[in-house]
Amino acid sequence: MLRTLKDLLDAFTAPAEETPEARNHALQLATAVLLVEVMRADPNIAVAERNAVLASLREKFALADDALARLLELAELTASSASDYHQFTSRINDSFAHPQKIQMVENMWQVAYADAHLDAGENHLISKIAALLHVTQGEYIGAKMRAKEAAGHA
């Protein structure tokens, strides 16, 4: 019985061979979840924030509108049940070059500034995720300033 239980646990915890398509989908989902988390960190989710998430995903992954809608829906479901950010940031750390990680942080700031109001929860969350992505404090501040200026809050 113990052997069977161990085999079952190993089947669930062993890394499966991923196809390039599956890896790409997982990366898209990880990116979308982190952007959705910034949107959810604001108690008043604005349409502008949702649109900023969609614009960022469209620019990064060049997806059609129906694929974007499905990705956003899946990201919202995944974000609501996620217990931590590590599973998402580790996927990004494994796939993105450092400049892409800085751009990711800037995209999160764009979502936060989309409604013309920076919530303390958004600020805290982006800081936490930037650290998990190994973005330096200077790069983090630079990304924040660029997003703030682009939003017209300079």
Signed CA dihedral, 28, 15, 87, 134: sign only:
negative
CB 53 within 8 A of CB 39: yes
DSSP per residue over 126-146, as a string?
Answer: HHHHHHHTT--HHHHHHHHHH
Contacts of residue 139, Cβ cutoff 8 Å, sequence gap at least 6: 102, 105, 130
Q: How is residue 39 annotated by DSSP?
A: H
Amino acid symbol at 116: A
CB 85 within 8 A of CB 37: yes
Judged against a pLDDT cut of 60, whether residue 14 lies above it is answered with: no
Tokens found for residue 41: 């960190």
| Predicted confidence (pLDDT) per residue in 83-139, tens digit | 999 999 999 999 999 999 999 999 999 999 999 889 999 999 999 999 999 999 999
Residue 100 has a pLDDT of 96
- The model carries a pTM of 0.85
Domain ranges of the chain: 22-150
What's the CATH number for 22-150? 1.10.3680.10
Residue 20 has a pLDDT of 87
Residue 42 has a pLDDT of 85
Count of residues for the chain?
154
Judged against a pLDDT cut of 70, whether residue 4 lies above it is answered with: no
- Cα 119 to chain centroid distance, Å, stands at 18
CB-based burial label for 113 (10 Å; 0-12, 13-18, 19+): buried
Residue 86 has a pLDDT of 94
Residue 106 has a pLDDT of 97
CB 49 within 8 A of CB 111: yes
| Predicted confidence (pLDDT) per residue in 32-76, tens digit | 999 999 999 988 888 999 999 999 999 999 999 999 999 999 999
Judged against a pLDDT cut of 50, whether residue 11 lies above it is answered with: no
User: pLDDT confidence of 19, banded at 50, 70, 90?
Assistant: confident
